């Protein structure tokens, strides 16, 4: 069974491409404690079968691994095509 997690915050950094702007993603464990992963770690977990999603208007927008023009793997929501707007619209993780 795949582990599923809701991403509800991000950490950003300077970058021009879609895979360059997000450094970390985060959310809340079922026990209420917060979690935060580097984007690279989240990509690795997704490749191992984990699923992450973002809540958009009460619906799950599932994340997928994409590859930038520079060949770097990054997370985006499937509904966003080439741009990770659903993720970039999330608040910054503390």
Alpha-carbon distance of 46 to 58, in angstroms, equals: 23
Query: What's the longest Cα–Cα distance across the chain?
Result: 39
Alpha-carbon distance of 6 to 47, in angstroms, equals: 17
Q: Write out pLDDT tens, residues 27-77.
A: 999 999 999 999 999 999 999 999 999 988 888 889 999 998 888 899 999
Q: Which pLDDT does position 59 carry in this prediction?
A: 84
Domain range summary for the chain, segments of one domain joined by +:
4-88
Q: How many CB atoms lie within 10 A of CB 85?
A: 15
């Amino acid at each position: 069974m795949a582990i599923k997690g809701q991403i509800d915050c991000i950490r950003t950094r300077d970058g021009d491409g879609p895979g360059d702007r997000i450094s970390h993603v985060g959310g809340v464990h079922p026990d209420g404690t917060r979690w935060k992963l580097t984007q690279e770690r989240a990509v690795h977990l997704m490749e191992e079968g984990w699923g992450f999603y973002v809540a958009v208007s009460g619906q799950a927008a599932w994340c997928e691994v994409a590859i930038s023009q520079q060949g770097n793997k990054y997370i985006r929501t499937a509904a966003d095509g080439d741009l990770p707007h659903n993720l970039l619209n999330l608040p910054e993780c503390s």
